[in-house]
Amino acid sequence: MNGVKKGWFTPLISGLLVGVLIAVVFFVNFKQLNSANNSKLGANESAAEKTYVPPGKLDTYYLFASGGHSGNVFVYGVPSMRRIRTIPVFTPESAAGYGWTTESKKMLGKFTWGDLHHVAISETKGEYDGRTLFATDIQNNRAAAIDLKTFKTVDILGPIANLNGPHCAAFVTPNSEYIFLPTRFSAPIGHEYADVSQFKEKYKGVMGAVQYDFNKKKLHLAWEVMLPPWSYDLSDAGKKSSDGWGVMSTYNTEEANTTLEVGASQNDRDYLVIFNWKGIEKEVAKGSYSVINGAKMFDPVKTPGYVFLVPVAKSPHGVDVTPDGKYYISSGKLSPTATIYDWEKTFKAIKNKDFQGEAKGLPVIKYESVRHKEVEVGLGPLHTQFDGRGNAYTTLFIDSAITKFNIKTGKVIDKIPVQYSPGHAAAAEGDSVSPDGNYLVALNKLSKDSYLSVGPSHPESLQLIDISGEKMKMLYSAPADPEPHYAQMVKADKIKTIEVYPKDTKRPNSVWKEKDAHIVRHGNKVDVYGIAVRSHFVFDAKSKTPDVVHVNQGDKVTFYITNIDLDEDITHGLGITSYNENMEIQPGETNSFEFTADQSGVFPLACTNFCSALHQEMTGYLLVKPK
């Protein structure tokens, strides 16, 4: 009996053990597949502690993330990964009345969308200075400046002449002298008609150098550089010992003009374009340019000595200058290695004319002369960030991972999975001369099954990684609207926002006292100079119905409204029913919109930004008398 019992019992125990083991294995796999939050089991608590920002406490970083084809910038707090603001830039946004106010309409022009790809914080001595955020629109060839005192777009330049898809922009130089906009698409310069069969002869690439006047808050095009008909992808400015230089990646050196998926992947090597922007600036000042569509166009073939090519693995995306300015790192999307290039060796090779020939009239520097190390990073390397301790972090699109390696030795130190397909990554102060080395955010193109289902299309994701130790640790995963493309992370104490707009009584069209609100009529033009204050509007102080505006059908009506509540966060809005008009007026701000009163009748108007207990009562009427 004992034997039988034993014989029966043993398989039962073994079976249970196997069952438990299988369950554990499946559970572990399930966890790993469905939650990349934890690269190690049991890391939950520490990750939670590291990202938890209790009520009443503030995050230590701002993350400015490009909103891709949303046309906007999304602002997150790090480490909580809470989204704290959407800044409308290239796309109307009704919450802010952006796209309806006179000023924002003027900035947007005829465009109602944009593809906002790269953001860049202004720099002083290579450090993020927290003054301004720049962004570019790859779709409609524009550049924008966002004032970080108010988090508002203050200028849009463009469409900029001769540019076609400034993808890699914006990257600023160490003292914000320039924002470079190299373009992804080649096309005939000046929108001249030429069939794609004439691609090699008539099509050109162009890089635009844009400047920003910090006092006038205005962008302007300084000059452009004519380039071969290739696709220019990312760029970065030199720093410290390499200041004055820039580098950009280029693909389709095959000059394919159709079916690029195949055509642009033929050559083993493409190029990095190395350019001496301080030299070009001097040449342009001397008059070495031709004017094309109003732009000063510098031709590096006609004026040699400023633009050079360096071979790189095929179809490169990122190219990034190390914080010390000594190296630049790039890789081919279709190659598993990243190359670390040496700036000093590059300058020496240029000086010694250590060239292996030329392409389209531009000298090609010998690869072996400028290479520092090749690193086996993994599949699909796209973009590299830094920790300030001599390490680099490269996103791997195909592997869905990030590889950490030492810049000096080229030795791979660690690799962490992300969910899934990271494009760029942003380290804390990561593009500056002194990265903080504590956080890295992976900007993932896919998030399959990471969040509650929202239908066939899944959210993208931002994953916060702790890079303070030898090994990387996944801390948090936040869903994101399409498409997180590029981001920069800046210390929160560098951003000095204002509490209210200053009470500027000289500001055009502003009214600061309720009794001064008035309406001016000239023929069919009606200008309303009103105020918004908790919790009412005054458009005409002398009227018995101060919150009612009477106009005649067909009148051209402008509302100038000043928010005279000079308290932080007391924002008002003004929307007119059925008239498709809305604006936000922040404390101390004056905003306006204008329209033709083509519909007759009674149109209630109201405050559109919740402002007080009597917000619902903050209303009035637009009365349009029929013709």
Chain residues in the site for Cu ion (CB under 5 A): 572, 607, 611, 618
Q: Which residue, 359 or 606, has its beta carbon nearer to Cu ion?
A: 606
Q: Which is closer to Cu ion, CB of 332 or CB of 575?
A: 575
> How near is the Cβ of 569 to Cu ion at its closest, in Å?
12
Q: How many Å apart are CA 273 and CA 520, to the nearest integer?
A: 58
Shortest Å distance, C-beta 617 to Cu ion: 9
For 278, counting Cβ atoms within 10 Å of its Cβ (0-12 exposed, 13-18 middle, 19+ buried), the class is middle
* Tokens at 217, concatenated: 């808050």
Tokens of 224: 């452009």
CB closer to Cu ion, 362 vs 618: 618
- Which H or E run contains 525? strand 525-533
CB of 194: closest distance to Cu ion in angstroms?
Answer: 56
Distance between CA atoms of residues 328 and 306, nearest Å: 18
Tokens 């947007």, residue? 108
CA distance 612 to 299: 60
Give 138 or 611: the residue with its C-beta nearer to Cu ion: 611
Contacts 24+ apart (CB under 8 A), 254-261: 255/199, 255/200, 255/228, 255/229, 255/230, 257/196, 257/197, 257/199, 257/203, 258/196
CA-to-CA distance for 172 and 180, rounded, in angstroms?
7
How far lies 213's CA from each of 158, 188, 282, 487, 507, in Å? 16, 30, 19, 23, 21
For Cu ion, which is the closer residue by CB, 329 or 564? 564
Q: How far is the CB of 379 from Cu ion (least distance, A)?
A: 54
**Which of 349, 531 has the CB closer to Cu ion?**
531
Q: Which is nearer to Cu ion, 284 or 538 (CB)?
A: 538
Q: Which is nearer to Cu ion, 372 or 572 (CB)?
A: 572
Q: Which of 460, 495, 421, 440 is nearest to 66 (CA)?
A: 460
CB of 610 to Cu ion, least distance (A): 7
- Least Å distance, CB 150 to Cu ion, is 19
Is 204 or 572 the residue whose CB approaches Cu ion more closely? 572
Nearer to Cu ion, 242 or 592 (CB): 592
User: Are 221 and 208 in contact, with CB atoms under 8 Å apart?
Assistant: yes
H or E element that contains 104: helix 102-108
In this complex, which beta carbon is closest to Cu ion, that of residue 75 or of residue 607? 607
State the number of CA atoms in the 13 A half-sphere of 295 facing the CB: 25
CA dist list (Å): 518 to 189, 304, 428, 528:
51, 63, 50, 6
How many alpha carbons lie under 13 Å from residue 357 in its C-beta half-sphere?
4
Q: Find the shortest distance in angstroms from Cβ 97 to Cu ion.
A: 13
Helix (H) / strand (E) element for 50: namely: helix 44-51
Write the DSSP assignment of 114-161 as a string of letters.
Answer: --EEEEEEEEETTEEEEEEEEEEETTTTEEEEEETTTTEEEEEE-SPT
Pick 326 or 572: Cβ nearer Cu ion: 572
Q: How far apart are CA 584 and CA 12, in angstroms?
A: 71
Task: Look at phi and psi of residue 410 and say left if phi exceeds 0, alpha if psi is from -120 to 50, else beta.
Answer: left
**What does residue 344 show for φ and ψ, rounded to 5 degrees?**
-60, -45
For residue 572, what are its two tokens? 């008002």
Strand ordering across the sheet containing 460-466: 422-427, 439-444, 460-466, 473-480
Residue 130 or 588: the one with the smaller Cβ distance to Cu ion is: 588
Backbone angles phi, psi at 116, to 5 degrees: -80, 105
Shortest Å distance, C-beta 564 to Cu ion: 12
Query: C-beta of 607: minimal distance to Cu ion in Å?
Result: 3
Inter-residue contact 557 to 579 (CB < 8 Å):
no
Q: From the CB of 25, what's the least distance to Cu ion, in Å?
A: 59
Q: Sheet harboring 307-313: ordered strands across?
A: 231-237, 245-251, 269-276, 307-313, 362-365, 355-359
Name the minimum Å distance from CB 572 to Cu ion. Answer: 4
Q: Which is nearer to Cu ion, 511 or 607 (CB)?
A: 607
Enumerate the β-bridge partners of residue 196.
none
To Cu ion, the closest distance from the beta carbon of 584 in angstroms equals 10
In terms of CB distance, is 226 or 607 closer to Cu ion?
A: 607
450 φ, ψ (degrees, to nearest 5) = -80, -25
Residue nearer to Cu ion on the CB measure, 441 or 531: 531
Report CA-CA distances (Å) from 164 to 158, 242, 271, 285, 383.
Answer: 11, 28, 19, 25, 22
The CB-of-127 to Cu ion minimum distance in angstroms stands at: 40
Nearest-approach distance from CB 99 to Cu ion, in angstroms: 20
Least Å from the CB of residue 622 to Cu ion: 17
Minimum separation from the CB atom of position 567 to Cu ion (A): 12
